[in-house]
Amino acid sequence: MIWIPIAWTEYTATLNGTILKLVPCEGCGIEYVYVLEREGEGFCNSYYLLNEIGAAEQAKQDAIENLESYLMHDFDPVPCPVCGHYQRYMFPKLYDGGPPLSQIAWLVLVVACCFDAVVCAYWIVLYLQGHSAHVLQRLALTGALLIPLGLALAVLNAAARSRVRCFDPNTEDQQTRIARGRSRAVTRAEFEAKRDREGRAASSQAESSVSTPEYLPQARFRESHRTSHRLLRAESVF
């Protein structure tokens, strides 16, 4: 057995960012704005101190790319602050997966199907080796058991799909949804009025013209680095 010492530095970069999300409401037609916050992480190793700066930069770059991807493509299920309507594309994030009992039943059936399939394969191998009538009988029994198990699984899947199709978070009390929306979002008109007031205030303080602020998107980054060193770790290669 030969032990080879391996030394490396692990760089981890974590970035937090926010972006404004503009949502057109399917219920009342207004547009509203909320702040989406996400965290991106990047990792990179430098072996034997050969690429310390490059690894740190790569970790940071990966964190930036991950964060930008989250900010651009992800969303929060925020209802409209005026009518409380949840938008259709937000439904999957609100669906809790259905009753726990059906989830457990689905898991049990999947495990049972897999186990029965393995047993079937075992009897098939035995039968091919010996052509025993006893083995053939066991093979038929375990094979036949797959039919009710598969049917039960299909029924559960159909019921789950039906629950997803029928799921509608907009059946919740409207005032509750509006309050939830107001806690996270404002209408576009309110947002732009606030931005204009802030712009005029900044203009009067600086006694200089203020350019019209960009509306969307805006991202802010806060950066933090965690660096860990694990030197002279020995790993067996034989």
Residues that bind Zn ion (CB under 5 A): 25, 27-28, 80, 82-83, 85
Distance CA 31, CA 25 (A): 6
Min separation Cβ 172 and Zn ion, Å: 14
Judged by beta carbon, residue 19 or residue 83, the one nearer Zn ion is 83
Judged by beta carbon, residue 25 or residue 33, the one nearer Zn ion is 25
> How open is the CA angle 174-178-181, to the nearest 5 degrees?
140
Judged by beta carbon, residue 27 or residue 98, the one nearer Zn ion is 27
Judged by beta carbon, residue 8 or residue 191, the one nearer Zn ion is 191
Please give the structure tokens belonging to residue 36: 């989406």
Min separation Cβ 82 and Zn ion, Å: 5
Distance CA 49, CA 7 (A): 8
Min separation Cβ 178 and Zn ion, Å: 9
Min separation Cβ 187 and Zn ion, Å: 9
Please give the structure tokens belonging to residue 46: 């430098």
Block residue for tokens 């790319």 = 65
Distance CA 123, CA 117 (A): 10
Using an 8 Å Cβ cutoff, are 21 and 219 in contact? Answer: no
